[in-house]
Amino acid sequence: MLQKLRGNNESGFTLIELMIVIAIIGILAAIAIPNFLSYQQKGYDAAAKAEAKNFYGISLAYIGDVGQASTIVLSSDTLPKGFSKNSDVSYTGTFTVDTAGDTLCTMTFQHLKSGTTFSLDSGGGLAT
């Protein structure tokens, strides 16, 4: 039937067919883009959380190696030896261990592309 409308020598898609395909693509994009942005945000937050946990673990290991003869203060400027910082995550605050072995942590971690800040407590827990 379509062949009768077009004639024998004409081929291709009609304007209606092309408009339907574009509408379907638009609907799929409207559904996919918010989901993609949500996954991207979760990935940024997961990177900041992982960096905080890594910092806490390697800080304790570093302090265990160095000993507790004096108070040790770690921060974004004085990182533990052997710790490679993720350049996409910013740090603020300090991680202090005194001669008695008590820890005080005021560190916060935030991915540069995220608005969420995570606070690391003295026991290694994270809060937003």
pLDDT digits (tens, 9 = 90+) for 40-50: 999 999 999 99
pTM for the predicted model, two decimal places:
0.69
pLDDT for position 77:
78
pLDDT digits (tens, 9 = 90+) for 106-126: 888 999 998 899 998 888 888
Our measurement of the distance from residue 85's CA atom to the centroid of its chain's CA atoms, rounded to an integer in Å, reads 14
